[in-house]
Amino acid sequence: MEVNVSAESFESLVPGGELQEKFKKNHDIIFYRRQRDKAASQYFASFETLLLTDRGASLELCERDSQDRLCLQIRATQSGTVRVSLDELQPVKPRYHVSDVLLGELRYEPLRVNWKREDCVCLTWGLGQYKLLVSFSPFKLEISCDGEEIVTLNPENKLYFETLQDPTRSSSDSCQDDENRCGLWKETFRQFEDIKANGPSSVGMDLSLHGFKHTYGLPEHADTLVLKDTSVTEAYRLYNLDVFGYDINSRLGLYGSVPFLLAHKLERTAGVFWLNASETLVDVKYNPEPNEGEDEPPGKKSKISPQTDVRWISESGTIDCFILLGPTAAQVFSQYAQLTGYQALPPLFSLGYHQCRWNYEDEADVKAVDAGFDLHGIPYDVIWLDIEHTNGKRYFTWDSQLFPNPAELQHHLQKKNRKLVVISDPHIKIDPDWPLYCEAKEGGHFVKNREGVVYEGTCWPGESCYLDFSSSKTRSWYARQFSLSKYEGSTESLFVWNDMNEPSVFNGPEQTMPKDAVHHGGWEHRELHNLYGFYQHMATFEGLLTRSGGTERPFILSRSFFAGSQRLGAIWTGDNVATWEYLKISIPMLLSLSLTGIQFCGADVGGFVQDPDPELLVRWYQAGALQPFFRGHSAKMTKRREPWLFGDDVTSAIRSAVQDRYRLLPYWYTLFHQAHTSALPPIRPLWVEFPSDTSMFAVENQYMIGGALLVCPVTDPGVTEVKVLLPGSDELWYDTNMAAVHNGARTLDLPVTLNTVPVFQRGGTVVPRRAGCGSSTADLQQHPITLTVALDSKGNADGFLYLDDGHSFSYRDQMQFCLRRFTMRAGRLVNSCANDQGSFDSDDKVESVVILGLNSLKRKPKLKPGAPKTTVTFEFDAKRGDMR
């Protein structure tokens, strides 16, 4: 008998008053309370235990009261990263260490003793600019660079490491009952019981960031760009959860977790990466300068600088903390990418527009929507199918009534150079007559419960089992399911969407898998919960990569993620709501993701649930077109919202936004090449580009696309004017709509209509665009390149253009790529090779050049001497100050 969870019953599960009751708050999290309420611990070390090798230093710590002994490892890299690791010296059993997130074995520098005293030792590395002061009694670690103290670890003696215990230890019944009441070996939340096989195992440590008053990162939360002081709010919770219609301005954990925090101040950016995949809470406390905000005597300056205190608390695992010393934001991005990987270079089609709905009804519906885009002149590249396309929610199958000829449907789309994406979730329907279920069960590919029996939970198909992606054997088995011979009805133009992979379990605690479920190797789910979706993403990536014989770049969207997910594809911000508040919060959410390496990210355009009014829909398309991943998506309980269903004015405004996105794709693709090679995020908070302008540190309603374009999406209803901050006293900013030029370091009152998208090009930059857009990214090459040269106050400009075949790994394996640099100096525009290692034959041509900022024709722009002779016609508009 078929047992399905309907959309209506799902909707009743999650919105409204029950939403907050489903999920824990800080006071419900016992290990967090236990760590937070514990008095300061006293860990000591002795110089006699210090051991220096060519890979770093090790030292033993001992806790004064419990006599628990820990092994401390300190390692450092030449690029400016310090790794501090703590584990039990002699555990009763091994503790869980996160694997597969770091990029292989890191290269460490030898540490040297700079000087020593009875109570401390100073270690140094590199050219001597980096120093680590290790205090023995009590233990404290201070990290400095060029004489400036950056970070202190354990400044308040909050280091606390619960050592594993033997569950068969002898104890009285009353003592056991006492401990269970404290949640040490067993705890309950609502009707759910969690049995802890290893007893209490939490770890925690505090650190101080000196001189910093602004911190960022720790996604995913629907919250402000600058992290809040949690002494007056809930701590930031990193615990992947399926939160439908999530609250805004909340520190509740959402679909993914990246335990990476960045801090910024004048002249330095630093980062802290806490490599732990169990449930983690982070407290942030800002300690401003004394008397900040009060009148101080003239000329008097406080000797005490501000600092930010951060406390990390995880339920289990070890302490593995990386301090990234920068000093610039770009260096922090690079240091983090060297640890967890660079953003994958996406196939070009995936940077186009995606059309999705839960669910397009059948093949005729898909073809009708596809034809609608052509009829209304709106380009798009991908159409998506949700769970209803399958045979009873059995993934890797098709509903034979609704989608009888899936391969033919894909060929129909492929003729127009368009793709199909289908969903593949981690739960597998329990069906003894389904070969895939039987194969997974017989192969031992499912997560087990604490009794060692296959774990069963409820999701879309009803009763389901959950694949154990933490096992490499299971990942390989799952990857093989994507082969064309196994996945009947699939073709090379089919790509994949991993959803519900937090994992979502409708009848589980907090709507996820119980922490005492057991994975491959005997590890409890609590140890690796935040890695579950990362591992499914990895398996899917392997499947699509293998399907092409390793030649084609996969495209996979995942809802759940962890540090390192950027290597695998795209993510989105989950089940948002069609309101102005969700449109507004999507910007800081995506900026936070971008800062922490997850740079191919987006939010569902229009809002997943509820029905947007036409104005909101237009504004969301305009915003989405200026964000990395661009997908319209809506739930089945909402009204249809294809772009042409709201009248000509709305259709026209959406068409314009989408076409502008396609014309700008040469620039977007160049930025993703930059992210792939240098870790610079395609979208950036203003402070990244203007690190010395303190007024930019908290701006979250506008941002930079690369270093050239400043955008300020309209996120309020009915407005006729928006305020735009233009940074930099020495900067010039050109309105891309009007070509008017404005000086920086000012707030501009910009009139707007429904068709206005505030975008400004920074003086001193060159932005490549296509002269037209066609119906998909495959048509772009038919249109020549237009360069927009925006001159700075000295009449100079620079920019890049990256080209390759847009879909294969030939750019990497055979160096088939082209990176051009465009430079404007003294009225001369030069096109030069920026990387002579690449070679790529392309028919692309620069047909036109628009030069912004010419106030007079004192000197005509010239082509570089020796360039092929051609006829170039220039047209100067004195009023606009540009040349074409």
* Residues identified as active-site: 499, 502, 575
Instruction: Calculate the alpha carbon distances from 826 to 797, 820, 854, 859 in Å.
Output: 10, 20, 12, 9
CA distance 538 to 545: 10
Tracing tokens 């014309």 back to the chain, one arrives at 663
Least Cα distance to 569 among 642, 670, 678, 495 occurs for: 495
Candidates 338, 253, 845, 216; CA nearest to 590 is 216
Instruction: Provide the β-strand partners of residue 575.
Output: none
Short-list 694, 684, 588, CA closest to 212: 694
Residues 183 and 199: their CA atoms lie apart, in Å, by 9
Q: Per residue, what are the HEC states of 555-624?
A: CEEECCCCCCHHHCCEEECCCCECCHHHHHHHHHHHHHHHHCCCCCEECCECCCECCCCHHHHHHHHHHH
Alpha carbons 287 and 213: distance in angstroms, whole number: 8
Its sign, for the CA torsion 702, 704, 710, 711, is: negative
Within 10 A of 25 (CB to CB), how many other CB atoms are there? 13
Return the structure tokens found at 827.
Answer: 């009225």
Tell me the pairing of strands 683-684 and 703-705: antiparallel
Q: Do residues 102 and 531 make contact, with C-beta atoms less than 8 angstroms apart? A: no
Most distant pair of Cα atoms in the chain: their distance: 95
| Beta strands 148-153; 140-145: pairing state | antiparallel
Distances from the Cα of 22 to the Cαs of 189, 511, 841, in angstroms? 9, 7, 57
Q: Is residue 216 within 8 Å of residue 224, measured between CB atoms?
A: no
470 residue type, one letter: S
Buried/exposed 368-380: b ≥16 CB within 10 Å, e otherwise? ebbebbeeeebbb
CA angle centred on 688, ends 595 and 719, rounded to 5°: 90
The first and second tokens of residue 81, run together, are 């990263």
* Total number of residues shown for the chain: 884
For residue 64, which amino acid is it? R
